[in-house]
């Protein structure tokens, strides 16, 4: 009798489960498909963060403010004072000292190159230029482009060059020749199409012979977009137009 009851209960349970599960799954999928505003609101929040950073830059550098562009009023800052106990200065302990001015600096590739060439070690600005040149050695822009396409887009090149507003012929010319010279706008467009982070984009641009400035409004806009993942070229161009900067191709 118990086995019969358990069999009946199991049959009823699986019937109810199969009855409701497909409906719930289809309802969930349909609800997400009918709410594209979720992704849109997320993109808008990232765009707002990038715009806030641009406004902060313009407040610090009013000479970069284009004519006719008005900044929003600054938000009021509320101060709250909290009494804290005085900090006790740490005791001098040799175990806490990790670096010393007398320590020998770590070896540098640039210094090693100069040493082998019989030149004296580089100092100051000369060292910075040499180290920057050594960092840019390695893969070319075209080889790095193909690497990112294969790693992040499963080799789907059309998705990349269409997002960069490039033709197939222009993209083929870039990847077929390591010495192909591309414009700065094309390099920035490809950086956005590859969905690179800010540090990755800077390294990629260096391979093309370009760099982003911290003092130019257009470059600050590029930085803010890369920082918050605003990679859609149309959205980036709208920000550039908003602040009267030259748009990307």
Q: Please state the pTM of the whole predicted model.
A: 0.61
Asked whether the predicted pLDDT for residue 206 surpasses 70, the reply is: yes
The domain total for the chain is 1
In a domain, 70, yes or no: no
- Measuring CA to CA, how many Å separate 25 from each of 34, 77, 177? 14, 47, 50
Residue 204 lies in a domain: yes
DSSP tag of 92:
P
In a domain, 237, yes or no: yes
What pLDDT was estimated at residue 141?
A: 93
Measure Cα distances from 28 to 23, 42, 184, 217, 239 in Å.
9, 20, 45, 44, 35
Is there a domain that residue 39 lies in?
no
Domain annotation covers residue 72: no
- Average per-residue pLDDT for the chain: 74
Per residue in 53-112, pLDDT (tens digit) is 999 999 898 899 898 888 888 776 665 656 666 666 655 544 443 434 444 444 444 454
**Cα-trace Rg, the chain:** 28
Q: What is the pLDDT of residue 21?
A: 42
Domain that holds residue 122: 109-242
- Determine, yes or no, domain membership for 59: no
CA-CA distance, 155 to 175, in Å (whole number)?
13
* Residue 24 is assigned to a structural domain of this protein: no
142 within a domain of the structure (yes/no) = yes
136 versus 170: the higher-pLDDT residue is 170
Q: Of 64-68, 143-147, 227-231, where does mean pLDDT reach its minimum? A: 64-68
Instruction: Decide if 200 contacts 227 (C-beta within 8 A).
Output: no
């Amino acid at each position: 009798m118990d086995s019969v009851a358990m069999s009946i209960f199991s049959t009823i349970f699986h019937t109810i489960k199969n009855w409701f599960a497909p409906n719930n799954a289809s309802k969930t999928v349909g609800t997400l498909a009918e709410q594209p505003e979720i992704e849109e609101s997320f993109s808008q929040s990232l765009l707002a963060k990038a715009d806030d950073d641009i406004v902060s830059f313009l407040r610090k550098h009013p000479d970069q403010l284009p004519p006719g562009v008005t900044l929003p009023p600054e938000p009021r800052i509320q101060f709250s004072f909290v009494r804290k106990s005085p900090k006790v200065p740490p005791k001098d302990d040799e175990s806490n000292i990790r670096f010393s001015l007398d320590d020998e600096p770590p070896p540098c590739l640039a210094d090693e190159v100069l040493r082998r060439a019989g030149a004296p070690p580089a100092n100051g600005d000369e060292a910075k230029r040499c180290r920057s040149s050594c960092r840019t050695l390695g893969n070319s822009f075209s080889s790095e482009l193909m690497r990112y396409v294969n790693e992040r887009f499963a080799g789907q090149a059309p998705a990349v060059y269409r997002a960069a507003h490039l033709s197939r012929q222009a993209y083929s010319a870039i990847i077929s020749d390591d010495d192909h010279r591309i414009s700065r706008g094309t390099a920035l467009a490809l950086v956005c199409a590859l969905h690179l982070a800010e540090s990755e984009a800077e390294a990629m641009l260096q391979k093309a012979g370009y760099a982003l400035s911290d003092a130019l409004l257009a470059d600050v806009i590029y930085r803010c977009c890369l920082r918050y993942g605003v990679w859609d070229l149309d959205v980036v161009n709208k920000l550039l137009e908003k602040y009267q900067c030259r748009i990307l191709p």
